[in-house]
Amino acid sequence: MVGPVEVSVIIPTYDRRELVQRAIDSVLAQTREVEEIIVVDDGSTDGTGDALMARYGSRIRYVGQDNAGVSAARNRGLALANGRFLALLDSDDIWMPEKTERQAAWLEAHPDFGMVVCDVLRTDADRNAIDRFRRREQIRTDGWALCDLLRHPALVPASAMLRREVYEDVGGFDTTLATAEDLDFHLRIARRWKIGVVEDLLVEAMRGHDGLSSEDNTYDDYVRVVERAVAESTGVVDERTRREALALTYHRNARGMLIRKRWRDAWVLACKAWRIAPDTKLRVGLLRLAPFALRRLANTLLRR
């Protein structure tokens, strides 16, 4: 590779031979060149490696490893990357052509910020639009975003670009988490670095095709991540915000557990939320869980 590497992208993949090529093509089509494309193959068995080397050759850096999960694959790529700016791209997502140019320029213009994110078009498996994830709705102003993100933690990894120093400071993804590892990564960065938003649609993310969001442990991991982040924010974030963040987390995941028919776990979380909810509005939302739970229970009994 000739010259310094300004931008590195890490693409973890597992048995997505066709989809990962679509992701790589979107990187190669960037209006600002991505000098280093690292594809970490997490133990694919569908011929991904042969297909990628035949099509791209030296244009990508292909790394194979035994299956260890997406967090381990991302961490492997981050450790190998040489770029001044680091970007992530899941193999079922794609970038719009100006994504790298817009975000690299933003970071260059804001040297005291560690990361920048953008809006995301979320689609189904057939690439039909589901909705637009507008980052400004969670990160209300550029800068120290931890208070906002504790209340509404969310990260589409493909939407982020960060400085190398951020990774060196906070480390990679938590490999002990089966899900919600992206939320954890985002919150750890928000605690130590300023975050900005490019309010444009620069990423297309496919959702609902791999089943991860429906796994039972999604809710447990989400709660675990936010509880840890709230505990670590003691003295950094005011007590009311910390209580609100926990109450919102318990409320959201209690509803999810009702959908999964985890009645007892939902009740435990709802009770926790009620005890610490800092205002009436949150408690009204919790009261609305009761008729929702009854409808879910009735539907369950009727189907027997």
Q: Which are the contacts of 225, defined by CB distance < 8 A and separation ≥ 6?
A: 153, 177, 180, 183, 184, 187
pLDDT band at 3 (very low <50, low <70, confident <90, very high): low
Q: Which are the contacts of 155, defined by CB distance < 8 A and separation ≥ 6?
A: 117, 182, 183, 185, 186
pLDDT band at 299 (very low <50, low <70, confident <90, very high): confident
Report the sign of the C-alpha dihedral through residues 106, 110, 139, 188, in that order: positive
Q: pLDDT at position 211, please?
A: 46
8 Å CB contact between 229 and 187: yes
Second-level CATH architecture of 7-207: Alpha-Beta Complex (3.90)
How long is the chain? Answer: 304
What type of residue sits at position 167? Y
Segment 113-132 shows an average pLDDT of: 95
Q: pLDDT at position 155, please?
A: 85
Checking if the pLDDT of 213 tops 80, the result is no
Checking if the pLDDT of 300 tops 90, the result is no
8 Å CB contact between 112 and 142: no
- Higher-confidence residue: 215 or 270? 270
Segment 255-270 shows an average pLDDT of: 94
pLDDT, tens digit (0-9, with 9 covering 90-100), for 4-15: 899 999 999 999
Segment 229-240 shows an average pLDDT of: 95
Report the sign of the C-alpha dihedral through residues 291, 149, 211, 19, in that order: positive
Segment 173-193 shows an average pLDDT of: 96
Q: What tokens appear for 77 in the block?
A: 């790529």
- Phi then psi for 95, rounded to 5 degrees? -100, 145
Distances (CA, A) of 38 to 250, 260, 268: 37, 37, 43
CA-to-CA distance for 189 and 90, rounded, in angstroms?
19
Segment 96-102 shows an average pLDDT of: 98
CA-to-CA distance for 303 and 73, rounded, in angstroms?
42
CA-to-CA distance for 211 and 253, rounded, in angstroms?
17
Give CA angle at 208 (203, 211), nearest 5°.
Answer: 130
pTM: 0.92
- Higher-confidence residue: 245 or 2? 245
pLDDT band at 301 (very low <50, low <70, confident <90, very high): confident
Q: pLDDT at position 264, please?
A: 95
pLDDT band at 104 (very low <50, low <70, confident <90, very high): very high
- Pick left, alpha or beta for residue 253 (phi over 0 → left; psi -120 to 50 → alpha; otherwise beta): alpha
